[in-house]
Chain A
Amino acid sequence: MFGYAGSILQVDLSHETVSREPLPDVLVKDFIGGRGFVAKMLYDEIPRGIGPYDPQNMLIVATGPLTGHFLPASGKTHFGTKSPATGGYADSNMGGHFGPHLKYAGYDVLVITGKAQRPSYLFIDDDNVEIRPAVEYWGQGAIRAEKNFKDHLGEDYQVVTIGPAGENRVRYACISHDFGRQAGRTGVGAVMGSKNLKAIAVRGSQSIPVADLKAAYAKGKEAYQKVMAKPGFDGWTPEGTAGITNWTNEVGVFPTRNFQTSHAAHYKNINGKAVLERLKITDKGCFGCPTPCGKYGHVRTSSGSAYVEGPEYETIALFGGNCVLKTIEEVAYANYVCDELGIDTISAGVVLGWAIECYQKGILSRDEIGREIDFSDLDSIVYLLDKIAGREGIGDLLAEGVKIAAEKTGNGSERFAIQVKGLEWSGYECRNAPSMMLAYLTADVGAHHNRAWVLGHDIAGAWTNVHDLIASETEIEPQPKAVVSERSAEYVIASQHKRSLFDALGNCRLQMMELGFEEEHYAELYSLITGVTKTWADLLTVSERIWHLTRAFSIREIDGFGRHFDLPPARLTEEPIADGPNQGHVIPAADIHDLLSWYYTARGWNENGIPTKETLLNNGLPEVVADFEARGLL
């Protein structure tokens, strides 16, 4: 089997057993890798109805056929599980170097089940796999622990860790790697913590077989040259994702004050230029990446000083916007605190925005919180993050995520708990962006922009790579009201399929998305590496299968799952945007329901968002039909 390492490593922490199995041909053929493997293995192997912290829940670490090979940005690793945030399907991916080294060690996929009796870490050095004690690392910050593991094991080990938030099962705890990269979303770190697993360290010394190495290497080199010839290579790379901050403010899609407003007057104090001029020490790239979006730097604030990677755009949006921190230094310090505690900055920024609004409205009291808290106050933010990671006091409520916290708190706070399915909303305001709104509502993991990003369609009317979209200075002026139409479903589905294919291949999408590097190159590289000739269109059929299967997983696992789970909080349908270029705009609930209906129809799902029998069969999922029929779900 070319392109793949050829094996799955199964680790049962309860029984302290380790076994190696061949990677099944049918899994490769029907699901490619990465997110596809996660979707299929979760559906087939998790017993229905178990809780996310049940030892039977799986933590799957999956690479794809392009991971670790010679082409631009082949460093992606996917972590999948049943989500503590949503109770449904979850995966979250990271860059860095872990996935390539897992393959060099001989494994495409690592499946972790059970629960260790005491804090442990998994040690992998090619065929030597051991579950080792990690008691002395337990309680350490994610970055500190990574440094300590590398000091102990050696520089050539790649390490993923959790911080205290993962140990304490904060529902949006992340898995951290490479001193600033995270599988941030959906609470994968909490599942790792529930298994008493502090870290995984891997070193590999084996070769990944390639069908036509000479041709694949030549094509890989050509791919680098073509990426480097794109205008965005010099135009987008220097600031990375933070470079979009000006644009999102100028077109009024920057969430501020817990989505009460959508423009930050201070945006030029927290933009990509500020990161470069005031923080950056070095560009920091993932494996094989010619366009490093990571900016590693050092920050000093009145709350403390730290080395930190970032902030990248999402952290800027959620801490600089949603929590209104007014300098890049304050945003970077909050970023550092989250990274060390092992907390997702996106979810944290939404949860804290909600908590501060609750305090201002008198829904949460000073006694409950333990002090005064406010927007634009870094001390408030750091105080709450520490409480959350330790689940102390108010932190125990906030660690549940904004949906559960609002349900417990009541008093109308559900209206402004900005989430879908239980996952907090990432950094784009959508009340005048119907396509992006639909992307958030239908994302299988909850309100996350990485499943589809179609703001370009909403703002520019067509797909445009991000560099071209943001390259020119934009005047801040009132935006026309967007037209809600069936086209949104088409845009969203196309983007969902494109992105899930990158995630299945195990490759970063940013060279395509940000610079416009053409998708067909990836199909050509896939064909040369695996020896299985496919076009991009051929490969996209797997994406469609993945989307039906992840939907099916959540339908099976969550009682009553359907359209109701695809709706936004009341604020986003009932409160027009209060300021900025989109002031006065909102997409009413009736239009939201139209968007969902168009999407369901285009997907071949019924009016409640359940895939029809015909759709499942047409996409090669007869086992789901049988399962659904047995459970009375069809």
Chain B
Amino acid sequence: MELKANHKNCSGCSTCRLACAIENFAEVNVSKSLLRIEARFPAPGDYRIHLCDQCGVCADNCPEDAIQLQQGAYIVDPETCTGCMICVEVCPYDVMFAHKNSDIPVKCNLCGECARVCPRNAIGWDTDPESEVA
């Protein structure tokens, strides 16, 4: 399963981003979020949700093979990762993050908390017929 965005439902509230930071880092701090909301204003006047769709480009480009598929999600192994951040550069959706004060990159682990908290059903699972491609 993968997370899918229904962009037209998004109102840019960032509830998903804060929940992501709390769930994964136990921090009230949206800069720790593992997804992005792009606010496209003034034109065209809408939001785009940028989620990891577990495409694996990060793993394919990791020189240390430090990113492995585990139960549907690509996970960074902190022991193997050298922090070269090549994966951050190559991610096609800019959702591989180099957080401030973190030596290694971080990414979505498919925990699904963003989808659970979104008050507008703007993030769902790929089984949801309303969802679009991320």
Question: Which A residues fall within an 8 A CB radius of B?
Answer: 68-70, 97, 100-101, 104, 126, 143, 147, 155-156, 178-180, 203-210, 213, 217, 221, 224, 227-228, 281-292, 294, 296-298, 307
Separation in Å of the B89 CB from the closest CB of chain A?
Answer: 17
A70 and B19 in contact, given A282-B47, A284-B12, A289-B11 (Cβ under 8 angstroms): yes
Query: In the complex, which residues of chain B have a beta carbon less than 8 angstroms from the beta carbon of A206?
Result: 29
On whether the beta carbons of A281 and B44 are closer than 8 Å, the reply is yes
Query: In the complex, which residues of chain A have a beta carbon less than 8 angstroms from the beta carbon of B29?
Result: 104, 204-208
Count of inter-chain pairs, beta carbons less than 8 A: 98
Separation in Å of the A242 CB from the closest CB of chain B?
Answer: 16
On whether the beta carbons of B11 and A104 are closer than 8 Å, the reply is no
> CA separation between A228 and B22, bound complex, in Å?
21
> CA separation between A384 and B100, bound complex, in Å?
49
On whether the beta carbons of B45 and A297 are closer than 8 Å, the reply is yes
Q: Does B42 contact A (CB under 8 A)?
A: yes
> CA separation between A179 and B43, bound complex, in Å?
10
Question: Pick the contact of B30 from A100, A180, A290, A307 — CB < 8 Å?
Answer: A100
Instruction: Other than A281-B46, A296-B41, A307-B41, give 15 A-B pairs with Cβ distance below 8 A.
Output: A70-B28, A104-B30, A205-B31, A205-B100, A205-B101, A207-B29, A208-B29, A209-B28, A227-B119, A282-B46, A284-B11, A288-B14, A289-B13, A290-B13, A297-B45
On whether the beta carbons of B28 and A69 are closer than 8 Å, the reply is yes
On whether the beta carbons of B26 and A147 are closer than 8 Å, the reply is no
Q: Does B15 contact A (CB under 8 A)?
A: yes
A and B contact pairs by CB, cutoff 8 A, 22 listed: A70-B18, A97-B14, A100-B30, A126-B100, A203-B31, A204-B29, A205-B29, A209-B28, A213-B26, A224-B119, A228-B119, A282-B46, A286-B13, A288-B13, A290-B119, A290-B120, A291-B119, A292-B11, A294-B11, A296-B46, A298-B45, A307-B43
Question: Which B residues fall within an 8 A CB radius of A?
Answer: 8, 10-15, 18-19, 22, 25-32, 38-39, 41-47, 99-101, 117, 119-120
Separation in Å of the A187 CB from the closest CB of chain B?
Answer: 25
On whether the beta carbons of B45 and A282 are closer than 8 Å, the reply is yes
> CA separation between A18 and B25, bound complex, in Å?
31
Query: In the complex, which residues of chain B have a beta carbon less than 8 angstroms from the beta carbon of A227?
Result: 119
A147 and B42 in contact, given A69-B28, A104-B30, A208-B29 (Cβ under 8 angstroms): yes
Query: In the complex, which residues of chain A have a beta carbon less than 8 angstroms from the beta carbon of B26?
Result: 213
A156 and B31 in contact, given A179-B41, A217-B22 (Cβ under 8 angstroms): yes
Query: In the complex, which residues of chain B have a beta carbon less than 8 angstroms from the beta carbon of A208?
Result: 28-29
Query: In the complex, which residues of chain A have a beta carbon less than 8 angstroms from the beta carbon of B22?
Result: 70, 213, 217
Closest chain B residue, CB of each to CB of A210 = B28
Closest chain B residue, CB of each to CB of A104 = B29
Closest chain B residue, CB of each to CB of A214 = B26
Query: In the complex, which residues of chain A have a beta carbon less than 8 angstroms from the beta carbon of B100?
Result: 126, 205
Which residue of A155, A208, A288, A297 has the most chain B CB atoms within 10 A of its CB atom?
A288
Separation in Å of the B21 CB from the closest CB of chain A?
Answer: 8
Closest chain A residue, CB of each to CB of B37 = A155
On whether the beta carbons of A179 and B42 are closer than 8 Å, the reply is yes
On whether the beta carbons of B8 and A282 are closer than 8 Å, the reply is yes
Question: Pick the contact of B11 from A179, A205, A285, A297 — CB < 8 Å?
Answer: A285
Closest chain B residue, CB of each to CB of A298 = B45
